[in-house]
Amino acid sequence: MTFDDWLPLLVVLSSLITGLLIFFVGEEQHRTRSWLNLIGAVAKLVLVGIMVWGVFQRHRYETRLPLLPDQDFVLRADAMGMLFVGLSSVLWLLTTIYAIGYLEGSPHRSRFFGFFSLCVTSTMGIALAGDLITFIIFYELLTLSTYPLVVHRGTADALRAGKVYLQYTMTGGALLLVGVVWLYEVVGSVEFTERGVLAGVSVVDYPDLLAIFAILVAGLGVKTALVPLHGWLPVAMVAPAPVSALLHAVAVVKAGAFGIVRIAYDVYGVEFAARLGVLDPLSWVAGITIVYGSVRALTQDDLKRRLAYSTVSQVSYIVLGIGILGPLATIGGVVHLVHQGLMKITLFFCAGDLAETLGIHKISEMNGVGRRMPWSMVAFTVAALGMIGVPPVAGFVTKWYLGLGAIAAKDYWALAVLAVSTALNAAYFLPVLRRIWFLPASGEWPKRERDQLETRPTLLVPTLITALLSLAAGLFAGSWFSPLGWAKLVTAREYVS
């Protein structure tokens, strides 16, 4: 095997080995643990950079190892997977830096960072999986590796949240397994292929394939937080801020949405899925979830719960883009994998900054906080405006392409959903911005020394970087190296014969 054959596996191993080593690092050895985290994250970023350039040049990277009789363990780098891998590797580095600062002085850090690395390993495996069996292996490993992060604090609320999380995600995993086994029974081994692998399936199998699609989407819909499968997500907000960022921006909800993208495009294929009639119901579920999540966000005073319901709504933009047939909507849905991640991780970083620096957890406590923590709140403002869809932040690009796609497909109801959603986004974010910048502080903030930053540098710097990336993704959307440019590349390979 050549280096190119090993490269996808090396990307997965870079975080797996890091995590396993960290488990053996003593709690007092914080410098060793931090260096292992950073070396693993940087190594992964370098390897991913090599693969991104190669995939852009249509170079092939594939690791294939024997797993079962007539079934290989397959890791493959393609355009769709690299979009997710690129996002995850960049945000893993930034979240690692943030978590080092956030957890400073807290207990069980080696356990936390060990499972944190295993979570990233699972995410990379999901993104690089070349077939459904490899995908489901990493998908279930993601559930197991994130559970210890959700219950990390060990409080009664954390343990209850972990129980709810496992109940939802294990049920979803069981449904996914049923769908995968049934699909293998009907068509045999299924490897992900651009434009799908089911076009030649017999008409006799269409009823089975309809039922299988529904089961697969239901299983994946749990992690995607599609209504009514979303109940675990707000409950899980008792986890530390770096975990919340990981759940919402990098790993869990993105894994579910990415899985639905794979099923629709690289298993069924959009043309075949349209003939089966499964895309319209998928887009309707997404539309309901978009509006429902936004309505529920309106009533939340707890900042992280408001952001959680915002995620329920925002991730379904990805699913809506899949359900609306046509390249423009596909571009909008695919690029939102990245855009939502950049904006949402910024918001959760800011929530963590507020909690750690000033003890603020509720929106009603945020009056005038922009004067005490101006840089963090500028980052929050950029991300919030992006979620609303204000140009030139990344969220505007997503909504623009989804809107154009809805018009091109004559799905005007989807255009109405986008309009209602945007109004609701404004309704639950603009009052927060008003509190931050225009209302007087309710009391005295804790003092800081004249030469100190508003919060620890390890908390502030990653927050500012992700906010800048959210802005840059919109400002430079027209360039070939932007997330939008890559989404266009993915879409061209999915639609062009």
CA distances from 296 to 161, 232, 301, 349, 435 (A): 19, 14, 11, 22, 20
Beta carbons of 369 and 436 less than 8 angstroms apart: yes
Distance CA 27, CA 341 (A): 31
* DSSP-assigned beta bridge partners for residue 61: 77
Per DSSP (E only), the strands in 136-254 are none
Reference 71, options 247, 192, 243, 191; nearest CA is 191
Please report the pLDDT score of residue 32 as a whole number: 87
Distance CA 40, CA 133 (A): 27
**pLDDT per position in the chain (497 positions), as tens?**
788 889 999 999 999 999 899 988 877 778 888 888 889 989 999 999 999 998 888 888 999 988 777 788 999 999 889 999 999 899 989 988 998 888 877 778 888 889 989 999 999 999 999 999 999 999 999 999 999 988 888 888 888 988 998 999 999 999 999 999 999 888 877 888 887 788 667 666 688 889 999 999 999 999 998 999 988 888 887 778 888 877 777 778 889 999 999 999 899 988 888 888 899 999 999 999 999 999 999 999 999 999 999 999 999 999 999 999 889 999 999 999 999 999 999 999 999 999 988 889 999 999 999 988 999 999 999 999 999 999 999 999 999 999 999 999 999 999 999 999 999 999 999 999 999 999 998 777 776 655 567 888 889 999 999 999 999 999 999 888 899 998 998 888 766 54
Collapsed DSSP state (helix, strand, coil) of residue 129: strand
Beta carbons of 219 and 172 less than 8 angstroms apart: yes
Beta carbons of 330 and 321 less than 8 angstroms apart: yes
Phi-psi region of 374 (alpha: psi -120 to 50; beta: other; left: phi over 0): alpha
Please report the pLDDT score of residue 497 as a whole number: 44
HSE at residue 226, side-chain half, CA atoms within 13 A, is 26
Reference 248, options 198, 326, 305; nearest CA is 305
Beta carbons of 196 and 265 less than 8 angstroms apart: yes
Collapsed DSSP state (helix, strand, coil) of residue 367: coil
Reference 251, options 126, 67, 383; nearest CA is 126
**CB burial readout 471-489, b (16+ within 10 A) else e:** bbbbbebeeeebbbebbbb
Distance CA 402, CA 399 (A): 5
Cis peptide before 228 (omega within 30 of 0): yes
Beta carbons of 352 and 373 less than 8 angstroms apart: no
User: What are the DSSP calls for 28-78, one per residue?
Assistant: T-HHHHHHHHHHHHHHHHHHHHHHHHHHHTT--EEEEEEEETTEEEEEEE-
| Residue 437 amino acid letter | W
Rg, the chain, Cα only = 21
Output 185-189 pairs: Cβ under 8 A, ≥24 positions apart.
186/212, 189/70, 189/71, 189/131, 189/133
Beta carbons of 346 and 382 less than 8 angstroms apart: yes
Please report the pLDDT score of residue 450 as a whole number: 53
Q: How many Cβ atoms from other residues are within 10 Å of residue 296's Cβ?
A: 21
Cis peptide before 8 (omega within 30 of 0): no
